[in-house]
Amino acid sequence: MNRRTFIGSGIAASTLLASAKSWANLAASSAADGDRRVSPIGLQLYTVRSMMKTDFAGTLAKVAAVGYKEVEMAGYFAHPAKEVRAMLDQNGLTSPSSHIDYKIIEEFLPAAIERAHIMGQTFLICPSIDDTQRKEPDGYKRAAELFNRAGGECQKAGIQFGYHNHTAEFTPSEALGATLPYDYLLQNTDPKLVCMEMDLCWITVAGQDPVNYFAKYPGRFPLVHVKDWQGQGGTTADEAKRMRNVGQGSIDFKRIFAQSPQAGIKHYIVENDAAKTIDDIQVSYKYLKDLRF
């Protein structure tokens, strides 16, 4: 299912602007003892979207029973925010973030902010830019401008706005003079207003190294999507056969997470677009719970 169709229904300035050198020093000292842990471990509920459709409350209870403490929303399935918040509270879950469609950001951002307040969320994340807009000469320019405006509105409301990548952001754009769209968005959005939720799988599939981005843009990545992939390369069309539960693919999460202080990571959010059962999220949770870096 297309994520946009599915969803349709403060980071301190000092942290965001810290120097690469100070972040690198912190990362080195933190990684030296080899006992840094992934915490908190969250789940993007798009992972269990099929179960959420048929048993919303029951699925949240199962997610909590696995051990997850945080969930990122990707649709509310017609449930009012107050009702969903009550379900989360009942299961000892919190929701730090929600994905909201680009169109909602353009037309209904105040409503999204109001819902975020009810949910206790501190991040609102745009999950993608429409493929048609990507191809337009000023498509990314308009996106960057929108994100800065949205970031300003969110900041006034005590919320951080952010953007989530797929693979398209790492294909050179003719409209941008062969610049990578991801670089363009990082360079043309205000770091105080717009953070990045880096999808560690898709950036790796696209042939880029997350660690290089952490070093170049320290503190810009307070959230990451943690999902795994078998082998090198591929496209989003291969997810059914190449995506893996975390720890069962080829991505070296230990190496990536060793740079968490430099990146500014505060939330580690498991996602598996091809997951089928609760067993899948259990495998990912156990791997991350046991990981030391």
Q: Which fold does the domain 3-290 belong to in CATH?
A: TIM Barrel (3.20.20)
Q: Is the dihedral of CA 53, 58, 61, 63 positive or negative?
A: negative
pLDDT < 50 stretches in the chain = 9-24, 26-31
**Are the C-beta atoms of residues 140 and 113 closer than 8 Å to each other?**
no
pLDDT at residue 35 in the model: 87
Q: How many CB atoms neighbour CB 141 within 10 A?
A: 14
Angle between helices 56-66 and 278-290 in degrees, nearest 10: 30
Q: How far apart are CA 282 and CA 73, in angstroms?
A: 19
pLDDT of residue 267: 98
Query: So what's the pLDDT on residue 203?
Result: 98
Please name the helix (run of DSSP H) or strand (run of DSSP E) that holds residue 130, with its range, or none: none
DSSP string, 33-78: TS--B--SEEEEGGGGHHHHHH-HHHHHHHHHHHT--EEEES--TT
Q: What is the per-residue pLDDT for 34?
A: 76
Give me the residues paired with residue 47 across strands: none
Q: Residue 86's pLDDT is what?
A: 98
pLDDT value for 7? 58
In this structure, which amino acid lies at residue 281? Answer: I
Buried b (16+ CB within 10 A) or exposed e, 207-235: ebebbebbbebbbbbbbbbbbbbeeeebe
**pLDDT score for 200:** 98
